[in-house]
Amino acid sequence: MEKTMQYAITTVVTLSVCVFSSCCNYVRGERTTNESGRYSAFAKGGECGGAVGSYESSVKVERHYRLFGHHAWTSTDEIFDATVDVDRLKLQWIDEHHLLVSCNCKREAVEFSDPRWRDIAVEYKFAQ
């Protein structure tokens, strides 16, 4: 009976550590809209993994569709993902169809980057 109780407590503690160490606290970063207001880009990120955590951030682009002057739906897609703090990402529309994503990070921190989204060309700039 004592061994069973010890195994039960060990299991509960182990599961609790696994669950709580994988929590992410997400925050919204910078948001910018192109001149026509047709497209928006925004960054979001957070610290994940508890005491041994790392930062994870992403950039998404969205387009709002209107029907008879009213918002009908929004199309959103992720174009960038990296293991950096969201404050290291800067977004800027160069013109109507060109987005610049500046990351104050090394290129090796990037896990995913897409050079195009629909008719938007995306340029990436890195610190090192």
Residue 9 CB contacts under 8 Å (≥ 6 apart), including other chains:
none
How confident is the model at residue 64, as a pLDDT? 86
CB neighbours (10 Å) of residue 30? 15
**Which stretches of the chain score pLDDT less than 70?**
1-3, 5-24, 48-53, 128
How confident is the model at residue 16, as a pLDDT? 54
Domain boundaries, the chain: 24-126
Say which residue the tokens 């921190």 belong to.
Answer: 109
How confident is the model at residue 70, as a pLDDT? 87
pTM: 0.74
How confident is the model at residue 96, as a pLDDT? 92
103-105-109 Cα angle (round to 5): 105
Q: What confidence tens digit (pLDDT) does each residue in 109-122 have?
A: 999 999 999 999 99
CA–CA gap between residue 60 and residue 117 (Å, rounded): 10
How confident is the model at residue 95, as a pLDDT? 94
35-40-44 Cα angle (round to 5): 140
